Amino acid sequence: MDQGAYAIQLIVGLGNPGSEYAATRHNVGAWLVESLCQQNRLQLKTESKFNARITEWLLDGKTYKILIPNTFMNHCGQTVGAIAQYYQIPPEAIFVAHDELDLKPGVVQFKISGGHAGHNGLRDIINHLQSRNFRRLRLGIGHPGNKDEVSDYVLHKPSKAEEQKIRKCIEESINGLPHILMGDWQSAMRYLHNLTN
């Protein structure tokens, strides 16, 4: 595949809206976008027609759209689908950062496509895009050990130690974003693999 064929055009950070959810595990995807914007002095602004906070990032002559949906997690596909349709962005050019139960805090993985593995945000995005072929950054939050406790677990704050690991992992992931944005998947995977080994 031509590495630039599916260069990223849209960066999405998943989470739930509202101050009561801002610091919870389910919002670590939004943490990444907020950190990215802070580092590059970008201002997320609410766009009501897309029900999202959106900005644009000009990097090396290319413009990337960046957003955090203002919907709750299980409806975030409405926003991602609407943006993709409006700007004619194919699923392969969409990059979604999200929390991942199957990885420990501080562990991150890049994934080119796949199913939702029970993640309601990914499920809704797949439904609205009618495709699984969007790129993902899986940010580890750990697992409570019992599937019946998952809903409560993701809606609570991580411990201080866990948060430090997650924040460090987000910072390092942002440093590796150029590989992902250019569509250089192998370099992206190699970089992220080296972070956690």
Q: At a CB cut-off of 8 Å and minimum separation 6, what does 33 contact?
A: 11, 12, 13, 44, 66, 67, 68, 97
Q: Is 128 tagged catalytic? A: no
The closest of 19, 25, 30, 24 to 52, measured between CA atoms, is: 30
Q: Tell me the one-letter amino acid at 134.
A: F
Beta strands in the chain (DSSP E): 10-13, 45-47, 52-59, 62-69, 94-100, 108-111, 135-140
Annotated catalytic sites, by residue? 26
